[in-house]
Amino acid sequence: MAKVTEDIKVAADTTSKDLTASKESGEVQFVQNSDTFVLLHVPPGKPNRKDNGKTRVVQKQQKWGTCWYYALKVGAIIRPDYIERQKATDRKWVSAYRKAMTKLFMSLDYIEQELAFLHNNPAQNLIDSRKKHGIPPTKSVETATKEVEMLKKASTIFGADKKQAKEFFDEYVASRDSLFQKVSPTVRENFKAIFIPFMQEYFMSPCPHITAFRNAYFNIEQMNIQSAFIQQCGLDPEKACQQAGRDLFHQFVTAGLKESKEAMPFKHLAVHTSQMEPQVQFKLHKYAASKLVEKAYNLKPLAWHPETSTLDDFIKELKNGRAIRVGGFYGHAHYNKPPNPFKKPEIAPIYDVFGFPPGSHLKQEEILESEHAISVIGAEKKPGTTNEGWIYYIDPNIESAPNQKRKIFVMSYKQFCLQCTAEECWMNDGSKPKHFTYAFS
């Protein structure tokens, strides 16, 4: 996995007449801009950097756990200085950081596939895999039987007997080339460059169970990438993490949560982060890196709060012409039904709007995915109400092509607030304390 971290260092060296601002003005455009309904215009695709924005190209969907980056990019691409600003060194570092994280998550996904192969009826999976890759059945009955019998022992990988697991894995590695001799070179290379080193580190670790080891392993790899990014930005990773701990604790103090369980890890910081609990180390590295990303993209924390602020407050923030990045339990993974088209004639020429059915959001105990970042581009107040209405947002999971209307989503303001979480702190009881940041613009 060292190659992933090294990438950080290497990388360093359709418009409607309803729009209230013209393209020529160089200003951010609005589809709607009133005291009760604000909606930013985000053209489909993104500016093509190769021709300084004269044309537009596909804005791809996020890859794995990088919604934080793709959500902030939505706000960046509507700014008139987007092309020039992307050439800045700090944004190149952020881009390299994102790419390194993407590679790491790709590796994690690959390892998950390999482990699933070994865990879920591997003998049958061997047959299915051969069919999938067009590999002819093994001619020798003796060889085929040996392969199946070997894979039946694959469950030893998930037991506590590491010696037995190691013996099986050595045998499995030795036979892998013959089992998948017609698989693409990429698959073979991934097995050798990613899965084998991962398993070797597992066998050398004191951790008895592979699931716990996998989680710790990838937290460490993420911290390595974040440390490289922090250092690339000219800061000492250790000092940056210590400062992150102090900043986080200060926020708990300001929120009146000085003695809360969530604040305790930051109350008495160890002399060195390596002496802290793994999860605390992980939070500090993530927080320190996120502050540098926000600085590079000139993101400002909003005073808006999901419980104490109003929809009018949110609309006022959008009238500044900046998309708002929010994290929470949003997106397809947090619903049990697909979204439906949402009829909104006044914005139909610009956007295809979709909304998830009422009551389809997963309950707290059903949620398996982590929080997801979205980019809010609009808010509308329901006539005759004081604090009811709708939020319009772009999901980084959805690709946007320049020759098609951009797909956006709508949800009630009430549901939006319920699903919102603070980036720095998510309380175990689900509460939303004051003085934490819930949105950036």
Residue type present at position 311: L
Instruction: Tell me if residue 118 falls in helix, strand or coil.
Output: helix
C-beta of residue 45 within 8 angstroms of C-beta of residue 402: yes
Position 3 scores a pLDDT of 46
Q: Interior CA angle at 59 toward 32 and 46, to 5°?
A: 60
Position 411 scores a pLDDT of 95
The pTM (predicted TM-score) of the whole model is 0.82
Q: Interior CA angle at 247 toward 243 and 252, to 5°?
A: 145
* Orientation of helix 237-254 relative to helix 278-296, angle to 10°: 90
Torsions phi, psi for 362 (to 5 deg): -65, 150
Cα(223)–Cα(219) distance, integer angstroms: 6
Which residue, chain included where needed, has tokens 């990088």?
Answer: 66
Q: How far is CA 268 from CA 227, 420, 436, in A?
A: 22, 29, 20
Tokens for 267, please give them.
């109350």
Position 248 scores a pLDDT of 86
In a 10 Å sphere around its CB, with 0-12 CB exposed, 13-18 middle and 19+ buried, how is residue 308 labelled? exposed
Position 171 scores a pLDDT of 80
Mean pLDDT by 10 residues, the chain (441 residues): 45 40 57 94 90 88 82 81 82 92 88 80 63 57 65 75 84 70 68 88 87 88 95 95 90 83 81 84 91 89 88 94 89 89 89 92 68 92 94 93 94 92 61 67 77
Position 361 scores a pLDDT of 85
Residue type present at position 321: G
C-beta of residue 50 within 8 angstroms of C-beta of residue 389: no
